[in-house]
Amino acid sequence: MKTYLVTGGAGFIGSNFVHYMLNKYSDIKIINVDLLTYAGNLENLKEVENNPNYRFVNADITNKDAIERIFAEEEIDFVVNFAAESHVDRSISDPEIFVKTNVIGTTNLLNIAKHNWLIGDDEFKEGKKFLHVSTDEVYGSLGETGFFTEDTPLDPHSPYSASKASSDLMAKAYHDTYKMPINITRCSNNYGPYQFPEKLIPLVINNCLNNTDIPVYGDGLNIRDWLYVEDHCKAIDMVINNGRLGEVYNIGGHNERTNIQIIKTIINYLNEKVNGNITEDLIKYVKDRKGHDRRYGIDPTKITNELGWEPETKFEDGIIKTIEWYLSNKEWMENITNETYQEYYNKTYNK
Ligand code: NAD
Ligand code: DAU
């Protein structure tokens, strides 16, 4: 039985990953370590909390004692590092916590995993791997043509992406220096269930349902490359099992859309299915995000050719599944959009 230490498993992608893995495999154990920041929510994991193959530990990835204790209690085979501060706008107003969690936290995990997995001078126990979950934002911004490949130079712009690039380089350094078995994955924008409504898609759904303005940064023509979260989870599982050690794998499904296209798709669906009063009148163009990257686009050739990964969910289907999930889980949205979040939202949009 393989044991996975999943960090940040109470967040958006982490919780989807825990569900994906426990549904797929009956012979694995998952230890989920999460600090339960504003973005972490145990409601996301209600269905698995009594699963004997699942254990939750409330701890900070920067805490040496807490992480060492987990390694002492469990024979960890794989670390899958999702835990991070993940929102670009928050990194612009408060960069320091991004350095603490994303850079120092990742380094702490790498160090403790190395210490526990190393046998001899530069030999690691058989079958161990540290998978660091990263983002396409480390490559910076594209012009109208071209795609990010694994060889695109790192050129992060926001404090968030700079902290992710730094943590990627620490993972690479542990491989290059100590021969530690690592992989790094860099995925494009995810969407799906359990995403905190500070991110574009759940924010638009939530604002439409509450008849609140939808803030569109700049001209609304920035482009993101959207991937259904389950396809990301599937890719991570493939990289853990078959990724070549030390390699980076880009993950994305060639699904580029402008922000305004995304927003209008959601409004039109809700207008038809929920309430005719939900219209494009809710759209409000606001001041642009500082340093706003113009376009992201992933070239997934490497993961497709080497590991056979392909996205399964077309955007047209995934966005409907996603909207329907939020419509069926209004309580989840109400619980998560608590006072702290409302304060942040009102401050951000000067309400
Ligand atoms: P999220 O913000 O929804 O979740 C982050 C989780 O990490 C939360 O559960 C939070 O409580 C936990 N956490 C934060 N600080 C912690 C700490 N110090 N110790 C322990 N736990 C802590 O993020 P997400 O969108 O699910 O992203 C997960 C990972 O995937 C991140 O590393 C992010 O950079 C990366 N990523 C995200 C996307 C995307 O579109 N959301 C795309 C590519 C890569
Ligand atoms: O590309 C992967 C990244 O995608 C991840 O690494 C990040 O963790 C994740 O947050 C996401 O970053 P983005 O900045 O692309 O996502 P966000 O949902 O914040 O914004 C998507 C686009 O929509 C971006 O161009 C900014 C714009 N936007 C966003 C919000 C929240 C708006 O126009 N209005 C908004 O209110």
Closest ligand, as measured to the CA of 229: 1
Q: Say if ligand 1 is within 6 A of residue 192 CB.
A: no
Q: Say if ligand 1 is within 6 A of residue 14 CB.
A: yes
Rounded CA gap, 164 and 346, in Å? 27
Mutate to test the pocket of ligand 2, among 157, 216, 259 (most ligand atoms within 8 A of CB): 259
In this structure, which residue's CA is closest to atom 4 in ligand 2? 189
In this structure, which residue's CA is closest to atom 21 in ligand 2? 200
In this structure, which residue's CA is closest to atom 16 in ligand 2? 199
Q: What angle do CA 336, 339, 342 make, to 5 degrees?
A: 85
Q: Say if ligand 1 is within 6 A of residue 190 CB.
A: yes
Q: 84 alpha carbon to ligand 1 midpoint, in Å? A: 4
What are the two backbone dihedrals, phi and then psi, of residue 78, each rounded to the nearest 5 degrees? Answer: -130, 135
**Residue 127's pLDDT is what?**
98
Mutate to test the pocket of ligand 1, among 56, 82, 341 (most ligand atoms within 8 A of CB): 82
- Do 53 and 5 contact (CB within 8 A), yes or no? no
Domain boundaries along the sequence of the chain: 2-191+227-252+291-312
Q: Say if ligand 1 is within 6 A of residue 293 CB.
A: no
Q: 199 alpha carbon to ligand 2 midpoint, in Å? A: 6
Q: What is the 3-state secondary structure (H, E, C) of 161-194?
A: HHHHHHHHHHHHHHHHHHCCCEEEEEECCEECCC
Residues of the chain with pLDDT under 70: 351
Q: Say if ligand 2 is within 6 A of residue 138 CB.
A: no
Q: Say if ligand 1 is within 6 A of residue 44 CB.
A: no
Q: Say if ligand 1 is within 6 A of residue 133 CB.
A: yes
Rounded CA gap, 338 and 350, in Å? 18
Q: Say if ligand 2 is within 6 A of residue 214 CB.
A: no
Homologous superfamily (CATH) for 2-191+227-252+291-312: NAD(P)-binding Rossmann-like Domain (3.40.50.720)
**Residue 351's pLDDT is what?**
58
pLDDT in tens, 90-137: 999 999 999 999 999 999 999 999 999 999 888 999 999 999 999 999
Q: Coil, helix or strand for 95?
A: coil
Q: Say if ligand 1 is within 6 A of residue 84 CB.
A: yes
In this structure, which residue's CA is closest to atom 4 in ligand 1? 11
Q: Which residues are catalytic?
A: 136-137, 160
**Ligand 2 atom showing the smallest separation from residue 164 Cα:** 6
Closest ligand, as measured to the CA of 198: 2
Distant-in-sequence, close-in-space partners of 233: CB < 8 Å, separation ≥ 6: 13, 16, 17, 20, 21
Rounded CA gap, 32 and 14, in Å? 9
In this structure, which residue's CA is closest to atom 3 in ligand 2? 189
